[in-house]
Amino acid sequence: MDDKELNEQNKEKLDPLEHIRFRTNYDVCLFNFVDKLTLWSPFVSPEVRKHFTDNYGLTDEDLKTVEQYQKARRSLSWEETAELLNWAYEGFAENDRYQQLLPAIKYFEGRKNAEGKTLGEEVESAMSVVKQRESEVRIELAKHNALPVLAQAEPLFNRVGAHDREVTCYLFFAPTYSVQGGANGDAITVEVPLGDKDPVKRIVRTIVHEDAHWVLRPGNFLKGKMGDEPGRFYQQLIKDLYDDKLGDFFEEAIVYAVANGVIFKENLQERIDYIEGVKARGEYVHGIRYVNLWRAALKMQPVMEDYFSGRTNVEETRQRIFQTSKDFIDRYLSQEKS
């Protein structure tokens, strides 16, 4: 049975609410808040740290605790995020590897602001909003079934049938307008922004984006299964461009092209123009460092559209992805030198 027949066979199973299992509770939200507050990785956005600093202050004792947490967290990996969330969901059950994080989590849980309200109370208050948004997200997600598109893309990255596996989606709150997500290990994660009165469509788009990462995992294929020359290319690290290997950079670009460009039909050039405009004004917006990802996604979008429309086959599309990647990096490096 070839890839096309497998995808046809699986079409009856393409129900996003059967594919995605939502999870959240108090301990999950507390863990996520502290994990982001500590800025343990360059990929952690600073919104939670800023919120905490503005509302609780940041004392010497806080910074000492942050350092201890960072050291412990960096001994783990992004790929362990799913297991860490499972650990939190189960009430921080005894675990030799993860218990080293617990003192900092409990410290910040009891941290009080100027009005005497603890972070734990803030988390508890946010839970009702998270649960309400979960119900609304389920309804909206059913309207935007992205699984047929993801299933069609699976053969490109040797992932046929991945969409038929269940994935856990952990929901937690963001104290601001942010809707960040992740796809690390066997789970995806998405924030529910307390600062947005109508965030459901943004949340669903983030879920679909992260699910595209989880289902397709293009970076694994690019870095290790595409051949010797592409493998060497995608294993490169260009620090000024991105904090990870080129395979991870172009995974993000491909997912933006598929999820944001093809599925939700966003105008990627408008996103680039917006980020560059904000940057020119000296203001901050999340993703300002990653405008090159959107530029790469814009280049990848026609490659993916030609594949989805049947104008190119799997092998032709793989070659175009590689050539587009090389051309993009060549242009980037020449601009850096000029």
For the segment 288-310, what is each residue's pLDDT rounded down to a tens digit?
567 899 999 999 999 999 999 99
So what's the pLDDT on residue 175? 92
* 182/225 same-domain check: no
Q: Final residue of a domain: which of 193, 225, 240?
A: 193
Look at residue 160 and tell me if it is in a domain: yes
Strand arrangement of the beta sheet that strand 187-193 belongs to: 20-23, 167-174, 187-193, 181-183
Do residues 142 and 257 share a domain?
no
Q: Is the four-CA dihedral 243, 248, 250, 252 of positive or negative sign?
A: negative
User: pLDDT band for position 42 (50/70/90)?
Assistant: confident
Residue 1, pLDDT score: 39
Most confident stretch, 4-8, 279-283, 323-327: 323-327
CB atoms within 10 A of CB 266: 17
In this structure, are 143 and 231 located in the same domain?
A: no
Q: Are the C-beta atoms of residues 137 and 200 closer than 8 Å to each other?
A: yes
Containing H/E element for 21? strand 20-23
Residue type, 304: M
Whether residue 10 is predicted with pLDDT greater than 50 in this model: the reply is: no
Mean pLDDT, residues 81-90: 95
Cβ pair 216, 149 in contact under 8 A: no
Q: What pLDDT was estimated at residue 51? A: 95
pLDDT at position 55 is 96
Residue 6 has pLDDT above 50, yes or no: no
Q: Which of 7-21, 217-231, 280-294 has the highest mean pLDDT?
A: 217-231
Question: What pLDDT, on a 0 to 100 scale, did the predictor assign at position 11?
Answer: 46
Do 61 and 23 fall within a single domain? yes
Residues 164 and 298 in one domain: no
Residue 5 has pLDDT above 70, yes or no: no
Q: Are the C-beta atoms of 177 and 72 separated by less than 8 Å?
A: no
Using the predicted structure, report yes or no on whether residue 95 has a pLDDT greater than 90.
Answer: yes
210 in any annotated domain: no
- The predicted structure's pLDDT at residue 315: 97
What pLDDT shows up at residue 66? 98
CA–CA distance from 172 to each of 66, 190, 195 (Å)? 21, 7, 13
- Residue with the two structure tokens 């199973």: 13
Same domain, 131 and 9: yes
- What is the residue range of 322's domain? 217-337
- Rounded to the nearest 5 percent, the helix, strand and coil shares of the chain are 65, 10, 25
Question: pLDDT per residue over 265-291, tens digit each?
Answer: 999 999 899 888 887 887 765 555 678
Residues 151-170 as b or e (16 or more Cβ within 10 Å = b): bbbbbbbebbebbbeebbbb
Q: Domains in the chain: how many in total? A: 2
Convert the pLDDT of each residue in 117-134 to its tens digit: 999 999 999 999 999 999
- 164-178, 220-234, 304-318: which has the highest mean pLDDT? 304-318
Task: Give me the phi and psi of 194, to 5 degrees please.
Answer: -70, -20
Q: What is the pLDDT of residue 77?
A: 84
CA angle 314, 318, 319 (to 5 degrees): 120
Listing DSSP states for 187-246 in one string gives EEEEEEETT-SS-HHHHHHHHHHHHHHHHH-HHHHHHHTS-HHHHHHHT-B-TTT-SSBH
Q: Are strands 167-174 and 181-183 parallel, antiparallel or unpaired?
A: unpaired
Domain boundary among 159, 193, 227: 193
Same domain, 253 and 172: no
Please state at what angle helix 314-337 crosses helix 246-255, rounded to 10 degrees. Answer: 120
Place of tokens 């092209």: 257
Q: In the predicted model, what is the mean pLDDT of residues 309-331?
A: 98
- The mean pLDDT value for 4-25 works out to 69
The pLDDT-based confidence of 7 (bands split at 50, 70, 90) is: very low
pTM higher than 0.75: yes
- Identify whether 329 is part of a domain: yes
Nearest of 218, 242, 246 to residue 232 by alpha carbon = 246
